[in-house]
Amino acid sequence: MAKQFNGEIINGDSMQIYKGLDIGTAKITEEEAEGVPHHLLDIKEPTESFSVAEYQTLVRNKIAEIQSRGKLPMIVGGTGLYVQAVLYDFQFTEEEVDEEARKKYYDELSKIGPQAMHDRLNALDPETAKTIHPNNTRRVIRALEMIELSGVSKASDEMNRGNIP
């Protein structure tokens, strides 16, 4: 389709951003790409963090770059949040991070496990807990951090900022 419409592909999958996660993410191979340029694949190490806010900025810049060459940008893949962040005017604030709190939560995670951490989030913020799989410990911990830092649940904070489409 990209060849037919003179397009270039922009990755919309949050995990294909990371280097070395080829098999588990069904990342396209060079042969499968058939010469069509693919962007935002393998740009981060798995140990590096990457946010939807960063993605939003990178993709908007990449779209302009592709269009400047007279090509059609095509965002492909993913679960929707990354694509929605590009299409809609999601506003992202600078994330506050309390390294001490984060360390505390990761220490607790290693002692009690992912399900117990998710249960803790569910007790404090059931709406957010419904949207996060118990094994997605990074997001569970981030939601707990937000509650600790602000005293407000993640779901309430997003609704107040208008980030729910």
Give residue 47's pLDDT: 83
One domain for residues 114 and 154: yes
Give residue 163's pLDDT: 46
Query: Does the residue 65 lie in any domain?
Result: yes
Mean pLDDT of 117-132: 94
Torsion of CA 114, 20, 78, 59, to 10 degrees: 120
Contact 114, 138 (CB under 8 A): no
Cα 138 to Cα 29: distance, rounded to the nearest angstrom: 28
- Structure tokens that stand for 21 in this block: 């996660």
- Condensed to tens digits (0 to 9), the pLDDT of residues 70-122 reads 999 999 988 678 888 888 877 666 555 678 888 999 999 999 999 999 999 99
CATH number of the domain at 60, please. Answer: 3.40.50.300
Domain coverage including residue 149:
99-161
One domain for residues 117 and 143: yes
One domain for residues 63 and 112: no
Split into its structural domains, the chain has a count of 2
Q: Average per-residue pLDDT in the chain?
A: 85
Give residue 149's pLDDT: 78
| The one-letter amino acid at 60 | R
